[in-house]
Amino acid sequence: MIHNTIPRWTIVTPVLAWAAIAASSAAGGHALYLALLAALLAGTVFAAVHHAEVVAHKVGEPFGTLILALAVTVIEVALIISFMLGGGEEKLALARDTIFSAIMITCNGILGICLLLGGLRHREQNFQLSGAKAALTVLAAISVLALVLPNYGTSQPGPLLSSSQLAFTGVVSLVLYGAFVFVQTIRHRDYFLVEGSHDEDEHAPPPSNKVAMLSVGALLVCLVAVVTLAKLLSPSIERFVVDAGAPAAVVGIIIASLVLLPEGLAAANAARADKVQTSLNLALGSALASIGLTIPTVAMIFVFMGEPLILGLENKETIFLLLTLVACSLSLSVGRTTILQGIVHLVIFASFVFFAISP
């Protein structure tokens, strides 16, 4: 529930994070210090999402889920850039791996959990079919154009893109996402609104202007802290992945999982409260924001720097992406869901994780 006060932990956590950042030069790479940084990074991400939820509740739906998606995307982009800059050729595919992981987590992991929990508690759940179809159409277009098409270009050997192709891909992704946001918030806003919900949070009074403004400021502080903490932790995370013998793509899964965890919990709670429409808005909106905003941002940075960027997926990942798009289209084709769709998506997600760790 969104109260008209700010929980103390959402202020204390980023303050502690900044204190730990200030002590980085003295602490060095001590294991306990790194563990503290990891805990504070996770807590600061949760605090950032909480403040985004406060602001979202102030502006209402469907703008609320849009603000949450934007906040999550800012964190994701910041983490990607923190890991990629100065990382050499082995980091050229990190943006691709993180974006692909975010799609798999949102469209299979989060969506599967929501449909399973909602089905177990409410048997069947109804949602706005028009909104789900609109989101899936845009997601299919952006993901194929940005993550599959680069493998088939001739100006650069796939999966690389030339500077002009990278810029064009960024523009196309931004245009498609902008069109979706326009439809979601203005043109056909009713496609994405919750129908028949009786959850008390939805009808609770919005936070005061003072609380909302404080949350805006705290959100900015949290976002900057997340970026700084990620920069301090990135070498340790990479060493952990290498020491475990896992592929480099696992780093992308870790980044996406950390960023999407709070929003995933919010979506699961909404499904349990019989608000599967909100769950779909969060899951599909996060996937769209992840690719529709991250691709243009990363593309702009790398075009400006004149550096190459790997975007094209490998064959195995392409199969998982196409399977996910087909499964989502079929699962959300009739306007109601059961536990069966949830189980299918969770099996796809488990397969994705297994083959990522054991290729």
Q: Per-residue confidence at 115, pLDDT binned at 50, 70, 90? A: very high
Say if residue 310's pLDDT is above 60.
Answer: yes
What is the C-alpha separation between 124 and 266, in angstroms, rounded? Answer: 20
The confidence score (pLDDT) of residue 328 equals: 93
Task: Give per-residue pLDDT as tens, 238-289.
Answer: 788 778 777 878 888 887 887 777 778 878 888 888 888 888 888 888 888 8
Biggest CA pair distance of the chain: 58
Q: Single out the residue of 99, 82, 41 nearest to residue 234, CA to CA.
A: 82
The confidence score (pLDDT) of residue 141 equals: 94
User: b or e along 318-336 (b: 16 or more beta carbons within 10 Å of the residue's beta carbon)?
Assistant: bebbeebbebbeebbeeee
170 contact partners, CB below 8 Å, separation of at least 6: 295, 296, 297, 298, 299, 300, 303
Q: Quick check: 82 and 235 in contact, CB under 8 A?
A: no
Q: Quick check: 77 and 294 in contact, CB under 8 A?
A: yes
The confidence score (pLDDT) of residue 203 equals: 53
Q: Per-residue confidence at 352, pLDDT binned at 50, 70, 90? A: very high
Q: Per-residue confidence at 4, pLDDT binned at 50, 70, 90? A: low
The confidence score (pLDDT) of residue 61 equals: 59
Say if residue 57's pLDDT is above 90.
Answer: no
The DSSP output letter for 160 is B
Q: Single out the residue of 332, 358, 352 nearest to residue 125, CA to CA.
A: 332
Q: Which residue has better confidence, 260 or 182?
A: 182
Percent above pLDDT 90 for the chain: 23
Can you give 195-212 as a three-state secondary structure string? CCCCCHHHHCCCCCHHHH
- Where does 6-85 have alpha helices with state H? 9-22, 24-27, 31-59, 63-84
Q: How many helices (H) and strands (E) does the chain have?
A: 14, 2
Task: Give per-residue pLDDT as tens, 63-111.
Answer: 666 676 677 777 777 777 777 765 556 677 888 888 899 899 999 999 9
Task: Give per-residue pLDDT as tens, 215-234.
Answer: 888 888 887 887 788 778 87
Q: Give the predicted TM-score (pTM) of the model.
A: 0.82
In this structure, is the dihedral angle defined by the CA atoms of residues 202, 203, 207 and 209, taken in order, positive or negative?
positive
In the chain, the domains with their CATH numbers are 6-355 (1.20.1420.30)
Q: Per-residue confidence at 140, pLDDT binned at 50, 70, 90? A: very high
pLDDT average, residue stretch 317-341: 92
pLDDT average, residue stretch 340-353: 95
Hey, what amino acid is at 88? Answer: G
Q: Quick check: 253 and 353 in contact, CB under 8 A?
A: yes
Q: Per-residue confidence at 192, pLDDT binned at 50, 70, 90? A: confident
Q: Residue 238: which H helix or E strand, with range?
A: helix 209-243
What is the C-alpha separation between 106 and 298, in angstroms, rounded? Answer: 20
Hey, what amino acid is at 290? Answer: S
Is-cis flag, bond preceding 62, omega within 30? yes
Estimate to the nearest angstrom the gap between the alpha carbon of 245 and the chain centroid. 26
Q: What angle in degrees, to the nearest 10, is found between the helix axes of 111-122 and 276-305?
A: 180
Q: Single out the residue of 167, 93, 62, 41 nearest to residue 317, CA to CA.
A: 93
pLDDT average, residue stretch 303-329: 89
Hey, what amino acid is at 340? Answer: L
The confidence score (pLDDT) of residue 136 equals: 92
What is the C-alpha separation between 196 and 274, in angstroms, rounded? Answer: 9
Q: Per-residue confidence at 197, pLDDT binned at 50, 70, 90? A: very low
Say if residue 149's pLDDT is above 50.
Answer: yes
Average pLDDT over the chain reads 83
Q: What angle do CA 346, 328, 311 make, to 5 degrees?
A: 90
Say if residue 17's pLDDT is above 60.
Answer: yes
pLDDT average, residue stretch 291-308: 82
Length in residues, the chain: 359
What tokens appear for 107 in the block? 């469209």
Which range has highest mean pLDDT (1-5, 30-34, 102-106)? 102-106
